[in-house]
Structure 1
């Protein structure tokens, strides 16, 4: 089977998650497409499509949303998985996952999860650091987890995709 992983990233952490996910998939043909740098192949040649991206200020990358809107008809004919990377976890991350994908696409997806989060202040621009600082202060009761790849979640995501 062939798998297409389509994603958007701002600082590169999502690329790390995609690489970890691809290494766990058992499919023969796996193609990874970063929507910011790569050309999109013909989607009809893939059996499974995995779509994801980073969350910034509660919103999924615009290029991922645009990809989903423009290719929804084709995507809905495939076996799909959806993921996000974010600095939240648990119920907050699940809400962000659900709210950032079209409901029809979300319901059609067999596999849905968040794969971890990381904020690299050295790579971040001033405005991004400011936003993170403000969000962190407003969530004093709920500390932000900014930790890295959730390897077990990646493994389980891949396991479910391998069963399709």
Structure 2
């Protein structure tokens, strides 16, 4: 009987071992399923994290591009500002020169007005006219009279130069006087 109790004991042990093995297998399958779910959640989290990293990298690149653009624009504004400042300084200097010139010209204007008045007074007494053109005369008559006077003046000038010893009597020189 010993053998039968030994067999029974072995069968029980085998049965217990089989049950334990089955329970361990079920526990392992549950653990494996749980680990598979955890792995899937972790992979999803990793994918989301990678997408966030890509998004942040894209935002960073955009920020860098924007920052570079702002720096270039700032440099341009600074150059423009410097140019405008130099122009304003130059215009201020030109304005000062113009104001000084105007002040000087105003002083000379008064002197020239006095000289002109004095000259006009003297001129009235020194000159007499041998011919006065009437307002009723035609334009052709006035032109003919003035042309004759100009030709006489030119001829007289040339004659004066010849008499003074200058035989050229160039019209170029006459035109420049």
The TM-score by the shorter chain falls in which range? under 0.3
More helix by share: 2
More strand by share: 1
Question: What TM-score results when the alignment is normalised by the length of structure 2?
Answer: 0.18
Question: What TM-score results when the alignment is normalised by the length of structure 1?
Answer: 0.19
Instruction: Report the structure number with the largest CA radius of gyration.
Output: 2
Between 1 and 2, higher relative CO (CA 8 Å, sep ≥ 6) is seen in 1
